[in-house]
Amino acid sequence: MWVFGYGSLIWKAGFNYDQRLVGFIKGYRRVFYQGSTDHRGTPEYPGRTVTLEPAEGEVCWGVAYKVSKKEDEEVTLTYLEVREKQYDKKAYLDFFTEPTATTPTVFGVMVYIASPDKKLNRNYLGPASLEDLANQIIHAEGPSGPNRDYLFQLEKALVQIGCKDEHVMDLANEVRRILSQGELTAS
């Protein structure tokens, strides 16, 4: 079994794995459109975490984890079903490690996606301006800590794997700008 991580799974797997590969999936981009009411926010004030959005010609970098042992697979699936419970869709996508490769390194990595379908995913928040995203992230905090920590950890983890994700970097820079200017607005 292979699992693809494009958010917090990059820096915190939380399960036993046999191999970790840096690479990407095609046809998707990472966006801060998913509300988090259980980890990085509350039902009253949701945080924002990443999900995948279909995007022609785009790639989303992250890591793929190989889980080989049967007992580890069962524990991993149980763990991920709880951790990723606010993500309503599971997909199996091809994973590449080389930008010029035409053949995937791994066929059918499992990935959790939060769809924009409000009937299936009541926590989908969707797009917002960079400033609105930043203000929401600055103010949100949940059982797993401040939402801004999630953003900054994701930015750091992406840099460590050699990925420059403009959406994440622009958002992190906007959060830092607002914090440095003391522009905390009650939005």
Q: What is the pLDDT of residues 65-87, one digit of tens each?
A: 999 999 999 999 999 999 999 89
Measured in degrees and rounded to the nearest 5, phi and psi for residue 9 equal -60, -20
Catalytic entry in 44, 58, 71, 84: 84
Owning domain of residue 53: 2-186
Distance CA 172, CA 159 (A): 12
Task: Identify the segments of the chain with pLDDT beneath 70.
Answer: 183-187
CA 129 to chain centre: 19
Answer yes or no: 84 catalytic: yes
Total domains in the fold of the chain: 1
Q: Are 23 and 64 in contact (CB under 8 A)?
A: yes
Q: Enter the pTM of the model.
A: 0.93
CATH classification of the domain holding 140 = 3.10.490.10
pLDDT at 184: 53
